[in-house]
Amino acid sequence: METIGNIKKEFEAAEMAMLPSLIEKYNNDNRKGVLKIINTAEKRIENYRKELLRIEEMKIYENKYSEYEYICGIDEVGRGPFAGPVCACAVILPKNTDILYVNDSKKLSEKMRDKLYDEICSKALAIGIGLVDNKTIDEINILQATYEAMRQAISNLKIKPDLLLNDAVTIPEVDIKQVPIIKGDAKSISIACASIVAKVTRDRLMIEYDKKYPGYGFASNKGYGTKEHIEALKKLGKTAIHRESFIDSII
């Protein structure tokens, strides 16, 4: 008889598609340890099915506009920080793509975002990034800088999209049909993917800035106005990546 330890390893190593046959294989083993392993596997299958349904719901807009060949999701991060650029991302996915656990980037852990970033990059037909620096933000304001980052992201795609699914906004000076979706990063798989790639891209950039400008906590606060960041501004002053229009009242 197989040991419980080996059975556990067998289940843990199994792909989702193999779990039902493993459950059937050990279904007559009444040892408590084996019953617990089977129960865990059944929960894993149930959670997987629920996730498939959730992801299918996130394709509602992609399905609604399925007559368009290249549907592009667009989102941005970094409108609120005191330092660093605003970053936008445009993502075109193949039709009917499943990327499980995709969601609004703010609802995901850093570890999960990094994992999904790699999967999105490997599956996407095209990804475009737009970055607008702090000096431009000060010159034209954060809203206009956000629009500019989005336009850059679209222009940096290797495929021209036929339709844009945007998180909440309509982007000026763009001649492609746009569909603004309130809270789109939680309702559209394309926008959610753009949200994740934008977030990871900007976070990694701010981690690099932390090495260049130590003392402000950029690696952890990503430029947002945390207590640590504000205290550093008062003590050390501004850096070359700070948005002066955001910190005037502090320094």
Total residue count of the chain as it appears in this document: 251
| Cβ neighbours, 10 Å, residue 124 | 22
What backbone phi and psi angles, to 5 degrees, belong to 170?
-110, 125
Whether 245 shows a pLDDT value over 90: the answer reads yes
Whether 251 shows a pLDDT value over 80: the answer reads no
Q: Please name which of 220, 219, 217, 225 lies closest in space to residue 243, comparing C-alpha atoms.
A: 225
CA 104/CA 185 separation, integer angstroms? 5
Packed helices 110-123 and 189-212: angle between N→C axes, nearest 10 degrees: 120
For CA atoms 189, 190, 192, 193, the dihedral sign is positive
Q: Say if CB 233 and CB 247 are below 8 A apart.
A: yes
Q: According to the model, what pLDDT value does residue 164 have?
A: 98
Confidence band, pLDDT 50/70/90 cuts, at residue 249: confident
CA 62/CA 71 separation, integer angstroms? 7
pTM of this prediction exceeds 0.95:
no
Whether 80 shows a pLDDT value over 80: the answer reads yes
Whether 133 shows a pLDDT value over 90: the answer reads yes
Cβ-count burial of 2 within 10 angstroms (0-12 exposed, 13-18 middle, 19+ buried)? exposed
CA 100/CA 16 separation, integer angstroms? 13
Question: Mind listing the pLDDT tens digit for each residue in 168-191?
Answer: 999 999 999 999 999 999 999 999
CA distances for 88 relative to 72, 85, 228, angstroms? 13, 10, 26
CA distances for 65 relative to 21, 154, 159, 233, angstroms? 38, 19, 18, 48
Tokens 């950039």 correspond to 205
CA 224/CA 148 separation, integer angstroms? 21
Provide CB contacts within 8 A for 215, sequence distance 6+. 232, 235, 236
CA 161/CA 154 separation, integer angstroms? 8
Question: Mind listing the pLDDT tens digit for each residue in 225-243?
Answer: 999 999 999 999 999 999 9
Q: Please name which of 187, 241, 192 lies closest in space to residue 214, comparing C-alpha atoms.
A: 241
**What does pLDDT average to over the chain?**
96
Whether 212 shows a pLDDT value over 90: the answer reads yes
Whether 54 shows a pLDDT value over 80: the answer reads yes
Per-position DSSP letters for 13-24, written without gaps between them:
HS-GGGHHHHHH
For CA atoms 169, 170, 174, 175, the dihedral sign is positive
Confidence band, pLDDT 50/70/90 cuts, at residue 106: confident
